[in-house]
Amino acid sequence: MYKNKEKKGGTIFFCQNCGYESAKWSGQCPACREWNTFAEEPAAPKTKGGSSRRSAREVREPVTLKGIEADSEGRISTGMSELDQVLGGGIVPGSLVLVGGDPGIGKSTLLLQVCRNLAERLDSILYISGEESLQQIKLRAVRIGEFSDAMTLLCETNLDDIESIVLKKKPQAVIIDSIQTMYQENVSSAPGSVSQVREATGVLMRLAKENNITIFIVGHVTKEGTVAGPRVLEHMVDTVLYFEGDRYASYRILRSVKNRFGSTNEIGVFEMTDKGLREVSNPSEYMLSGKPEGASGSVVACTMEGTRPMLLEVQALVCRTNFGLPRRTAAGTDYNRLNLLMAVLEKRLNLPLSGYDAYVNIAGGVRLSEPAMDLALVLAVISSYKDVPVSDKTIVFGEVGLSGEVRAVSMAKQRVQEAKRLGFTKVILPKSSMDQVKDIKGIELIGVSAVWDAMKCL
| Binding residue ranges | 101-108
- Minimal CA–CA distance to 363: which of 373, 353, 372? 373
Q: Assess contact for 382 and 453: CB atoms under 8 A.
A: no
Q: State the Cα–Cα distance between residues 371 and 92, nearest whole angstrom.
A: 34
State the Cα–Cα distance between residues 107 and 121, nearest whole angstrom.
Answer: 21
Contact at 8 Å (CB) between 214 and 92?
Answer: yes
Residue 327 φ/ψ region, left for φ over 0, alpha for ψ in the -120 to 50 degree band, beta for the rest: beta
Burial group, residue 356, by CB count within 10 angstroms (0-12, 13-18, 19+): buried
Residue in 220, 236, 239 with CA at minimum distance from that of residue 228: 220
Q: How many CB atoms lie within 10 A of CB 133?
A: 11
Residue burial 313-335, b: 16+ Cβ < 10 Å; e: rest: bbbbbbeeeeeeebebebebbee
Q: What separation, in Å, do the N-terminal and C-terminal C-alpha atoms of the chain show?
A: 67
- Phi then psi dihedrals of residue 255, to 5 deg: -115, 135
Residue stretches of the annotated binding site for ATP: 101-108
**Which helix (H) or strand (E) element contains residue 359?**
strand 356-362
CB 295 within 8 A of CB 388: no
Q: Give DSSP secondary structure letters for 1-49.
A: --GGGTSTT-EEEEETTT--EESS--SB-TTT--BS-EEEEEPPPPPS-
Check if the beta carbon of residue 42 is closer than 8 Å to that of residue 11.
Answer: yes
Query: How far, in Å, are 2, 11, 44 from residue 8 at the CA level?
Result: 13, 9, 9
H-state helical runs in 312-411: 335-348, 374-386
Spell 4-22 as b/e; 16+ CB within 10 A means b: eeeeeeebbbbbbbbbbbb
> What whole-number distance in Å separates Cα of residue 105 and Cα of residue 110?
10
| Local structure of 153: helix, strand or coil | strand
